[in-house]
A and B are shown apart, each in its own frame.
Chain A
Amino acid sequence: MIELLMTVFSATFFVTVIRTTTPLLFATLGGLISDLSGALNVALEGMMLISALTAVIISVYAPWYVAVLSGICAGAMLGALMAFFHLRLKADIILVGFAVNILATGGTVFALSQATGGDKGTSINLQSKAVPAVNLSFLDAIPVVGPTLRSLLSDHSILSWLALFMVFAVWYFLYRTPYGLWLRGVGEYPAAPEAAGINVTKVRAWSLVASGALAGIGGAQLAMFNYIGFTRDMTAGRGFIALGAVLLGARHPVGAMLAALLFGIFEALAVVMPNLFNWIPGEMIQTIPFVVTVLALILFSYRAQRARQMRTLTKI
């Protein structure tokens, strides 16, 4: 137990948490945007998976930033595809989302075997690149706290910093710009923005595209920093956990960040625990993020329900 506490409060654990949180956070922000616009995006999982593979394959031939951009584009295009079928052809958004997920599970294996020449498991024989880590070793110069700061803040993926910025950017967009107001209005009560002359369909379509793009960065981080290279089904439910994090984060960017951080911590625990407790079977440790998601979701929904009931009671 002491060992576990020592590990949890070490700087390396913090770095692991940031690493596991980053893809989740991007996906959660993506889920948040589409959820606020009134379209539950269950395809985050598939979008991340396809973007991860796209980024890995492109990174073989191009610099890392081109690869990340192509991952973003892949996600955005899937978002556009969903928007087309959901908004133009009136298909149910959840069914469209699962179509994307099904396309992703099989399609990535198919594309992977085409790209690697027959390997259906990993991209191990592709020379894919990584997203660079940000080196902040100059922090050492600060007296007293310098080395601690450096061990906490240095060597994170550039995308982790971008994720932090995106939390602010999404918050600013949603609550400080007219477009954000439109988006929230469209999700809350579509008739009102419609009457105000806002094109509801267009707002929803763009939010799905943005949602896909954000999930796409998450996928790129997963395959170009957390792991270098692609393995089949490497997202392993992260997109669905992100969907839970959207609900858990009270549909607010900061809440989303905290929820993603919570799941990131438990995922990091699942990473370090096999070394500390080798008597616990690995499969049981792997269930931790999923069990925590279910429990957190139930607990949070229960509290939200109670809060709603209290509000209606006071109204009467």
Chain B
Amino acid sequence: MSQNSPSRWAMIGRETGRAVTAVVIALLVALVVILLTSADPGAAFQTLLTAPLSSNRTMGLWIDDVAKLTLTGLAFSLVFQARQFSMGVQGQVYMGGLFAALIAMSPIGATPLAIPVAMVAAMLAGAVYGFIPGYAKARFGASEIVSSLMLNYIAILIVNYLIRAHLAPQGTGQLATAKFPDTAIYPAILPGTRFDLGILVALVATFVVWFLLYRTNWGLKLRLVGHNPKFAEYSGIRSSFIMVSAMTVAGAFGGLLGSVFVQGRAFGNLAQNFDGNLAFEGILIAIVARSRPLAVPFVALAYGYLRQGAQLMGIRTDVPTEMISVVQAIIILLVASSFSLPGKKFFANLLGRKTTPAATPEAAK
């Protein structure tokens, strides 16, 4: 490992450069959109870029998002490394959230066991939900993209129904359960903010995923299957087993995110549509991080900042939060493609230097 560290650092530098360029381009487009639509563009853009730092509370919101984005990014990274396009994290989040909530509302919820038991239950539920499309693909050859997306809708509808008809306090018409007992809610690390156990869970999960992928036999096989399924098959790896297990393990992390959602200090209960589309943003995190688990928290930190800025921009100014989806799409498009700055060659020629063709970063895929 030590002998390839110069190239490793060069790669990290190159990837970071590309990601930063993509973000800058996306923000420029966002600036244009804001200029076109806002009555006070300056204030809106400034809110987008600086608001998350404006108070302890907003910093807490930001870090809370980072924890969740890290987990969804990890779940997507795992399946992407195996070249599976399972999009089922959202469904896993809902199933995990549901089972975590069931534990938290049961008698166990009032004991100190509440948090660990609920987390395990959520991970199991998510794993089962991740297993289904994996098994359907390995056994029947059913496209995991379609089946996992369908399962997302099914999970959301089931959870919505259970909340409305059974779990919400009767007769109030609320679309959320009552608050869980304090023992079932993640303790705050910094009192008074949302800075809670979730961020620790996310960091531990990052390490676990890294260890699984880069320090175990299973991880090596998984990455081989992802790089070259034919070669993996010839070398005696049962690629269907790897495929199913990758989706199942990713499902467990999706389920864990469900627990982080409902038991975190942000909610502390199970509400309808609680994920606010965050689960899908893991795609962006995984792509920008090139599916490298150790890069995921850093990407989540940067992206979470932007996301929180957009939320606050939606609240404090006249530009709706949803504007950020333009930025998201541009970042995905640019990072996923092998773009290079059109002006680069021109400037190099201008300075009288010879351009070396940039090495394609395909190896990271």
Task: Tell me the minimal C-beta distance from A53 to chain B in angstroms.
Answer: 12
Which listed residue (B87, B142, B329) contacts A298, Cβ 8 A?
B142
Closest to A305 in B: B141
Instruction: Choose from B142, B145, B277 the contact partner of A301 (Cβ within 8 Å).
Output: B142
Determine if A107 and B325 form an interchain contact, defined as CB atoms under 8 angstroms apart: yes
* Stretch touching chain B among A4-12, A183-191, A280-288: A280-288
A89 within 8 Å of B by Cβ? yes
| Complex alpha-carbon distance, A291 and B150, angstroms | 7
Q: How far is the CA of A131 from the CA of B173 in the complex (A)?
A: 38
Interchain CB contact (< 8 A) of B323 among A94, A105, A110, A304: A110
Kindly supply a per-residue 1/0 record for chain B positions 268-284, scoring 1 wherever the CB is within 8 Å of any chain A CB and 0 otherwise.
00000000010011011
Given A281-B161, A284-B161, A286-B157, A102 contacting B329 (CB threshold 8 A): yes
In the assembly, what is the distance between CA of A231 and CA of B325, in Å? 18
The reply to whether A109 and B320 contact each other, CB–CB distance below 8 Å, is yes
- B136 contacts chain A at the CB level, 8 A cutoff: yes
The interface residues of chain B lying within 8 Å CB-to-CB of A281 are 161, 164-165
A89-B325 CB under 8 A given contacts A94-B85, A98-B283? no
A: interface residue count bin: 35 or more
User: Which residues from B are CB-within-8-Å of A282?
Assistant: 161
List, in ascending order, chain B residues with CB within 8 A of A304's CB: 141
Residue A244 CB within 8 A of the other chain? yes
A308 (CB) vs chain B CBs: closest residue: B141
Check: B328 CB closer than 8 A to any chain A CB.
yes
Interface centre among B146, B147, B151, B287, by most chain A C-beta atoms within 10 angstroms, is B146
Indicate if the CB atoms of B336 and A301 lie closer than 8 Å: no
Cβ-based interface call for A290 (8 A): yes
Known: A110-B323, A240-B149, A283-B158. A89 touches B142 (CB 8 A): no
Task: Pick the residue among A92, A106, A237 that contacts B325 (CB under 8 A).
Answer: A106
CB pair B328 A89 closer than 8 Å: no
Residue of A nearest to B165 (CB): A281
Whether A106 and B147, one on each chain, are in contact in the complex, defined by CB atoms closer than 8 angstroms, is no
Assess whether A315 is interfacial by the CB under 8 Å rule.
Answer: no
Does residue A192 face the partner (Cβ distance < 8 Å to B)? no
Main secondary structure of the interface of B (DSSP, over half): helix
Assess whether B336 is in contact with A92, with CB atoms less than 8 Å apart: yes
Give A33-69 as 1s and 0s: 1 = Cβ < 8 Å from B's Cβ atoms.
0000000101000000000000000000000000000
A120 within 8 A of B: yes
Q: Within 8 Å of chain B (Cβ to Cβ): is A100?
A: yes
Q: Does A162 contact B (CB under 8 A)?
A: no
Distance of A109 Cα from B314 Cα, bound (Å) = 12
Contact B320 A237, beta carbon cutoff 8 Å = no
Whether the Cβ atoms of B329 and A244 lie closer than 8 Å is no
Which of B158, B160, B320, B332 touches A120 (beta carbons < 8 Å)? B320
A241 to B152, CA, bound (A): 12
For the complex formed, measure the closest distance between the CB of B364 and the CB atoms of chain A, giving whole angstroms.
13
Q: Mark A291-313, 1 if CB is under 8 A from B, else 0.
A: 10110011011101100000000
Q: Which residues of B contact A40 (CB under 8 A)?
A: 145
Q: Which chain B residue has the least Cβ–Cβ distance from A94?
A: B85
Report the nearest A residue to B329, measured CB to CB.
Answer: A103
Bound complex: CA of A162 vs CA of B168, how far in Å? 47
How many Å lie between the Cα of A109 and that of B310 in the bound state? 14
Question: Which residues from chain A contact B136 at a C-beta distance below 8 Å?
Answer: 294, 297-298, 301
Q: Is the CB of B325 within 8 A of A110?
A: yes
Task: Please measure, in the bound complex, the distance between the C-alpha atom of A85 and the C-alpha atom of B339, giving whole angstroms.
Answer: 9
Q: Is A134 part of the contact surface with B, judged by Cβ < 8 Å?
A: no
B239 to chain A minimum Cβ distance, whole angstroms, is: 15
Could you tell me if A94 and B153 are in contact, using CB atoms closer than 8 angstroms?
Answer: no
Tell me if A136 is interfacial: C-beta within 8 Å of chain B.
Answer: no
B325: A residues at CB distance < 8 A? 102-103, 105-107, 110
Is B322 in contact with chain A by the CB < 8 A criterion?
yes
CB distance from A299 to the nearest CB of B (A): 8
Whether A291 lies near B154 (C-beta < 8 A) is: yes
Tell me whether A102 and B328 are in contact (CB under 8 A): yes
In the bound complex, CA of A297 to CA of B151 (Å): 12
Assess whether A154 is interfacial by the CB under 8 Å rule.
no
Q: Bound complex: CA of A202 vs CA of B358, how far in Å?
A: 26
Give chain A interface residues in 80-134, CB to chain B under 8 Å: 85, 89-92, 94-96, 98-100, 102-103, 105-107, 109-110, 113-114, 120
Of the A-B pairs whose beta carbons lie under 8 Å apart in the complex, a sample of 27, sorted by A's number, is A92-B336, A95-B283, A96-B332, A96-B333, A99-B336, A102-B328, A103-B328, A106-B323, A106-B328, A107-B326, A109-B320, A113-B320, A113-B322, A241-B150, A243-B145, A243-B146, A244-B150, A281-B165, A282-B161, A283-B160, A290-B150, A293-B150, A297-B143, A297-B150, A298-B136, A298-B140, A302-B140
Q: Give me the 9 closest cross-chain CB pairs, A-B, nearest first.
A: A106-B325, A89-B337, A91-B337, A283-B161, A103-B329, A99-B332, A91-B336, A301-B142, A106-B322
